[in-house]
Amino acid sequence: MKHGEDWYGRTIGDVYFNSVEGADIPPCATLPDWEINRELVQHGLAWHYKKYSSDINLEMDEITARDRKLGLWSDGRSIPPWEWRKLSKKERDKLR
């Protein structure tokens, strides 16, 4: 579901998965939508970019993943991409 665009014209939105091709599911059955954004944040595989999202649930999911040290939170040196891009090459090289 598209919410808008960022400064560069990229789509801002939520990604849902709601079908399983080839699965043995009766034709009349409906599957709940699976929110990919939320899954990624819950497992520490994505950042909640608060500049473009005020979703309190995603914020809480990120806090929980951080507290549990999941995914990118298992590395104490994790740096948000928007902060990484601001670093000089010299600063980035020190962190590699």
Q: What is the pLDDT of residues 1-13, one digit of tens each?
A: 888 888 889 888 8
Domain range for 59 is 2-95
pLDDT tier at 87, thresholds 50, 70, 90: very high
Q: Answer whether 71's CB lies under 8 Å from 44's CB.
A: yes
Q: Residue 46 has what DSSP assignment?
A: S
Q: How far apart are CA 92 and CA 2, in angstroms?
A: 33
Contact 3, 17 (CB under 8 A): no
**Residue 4: which H helix or E strand, with range?**
strand 2-5
Give the CA count within 13 Å in the CB-facing half-sphere of 67: 6
Cα dist from 6 to 46, 50, 51, whole Å: 18, 13, 10
Number of Cβ within a 10 Å radius of residue 65 = 22
pLDDT digits (tens, 9 = 90+) for 12-69: 888 888 765 656 666 655 556 788 999 999 999 999 988 878 889 999 999 999 999 9
Q: How many domains, in total, are found in the chain?
A: 1
**CA–CA distances in Å: residue 24 to residues 19, 49, 72:** 11, 37, 35
The model scores a pTM over 0.85: no
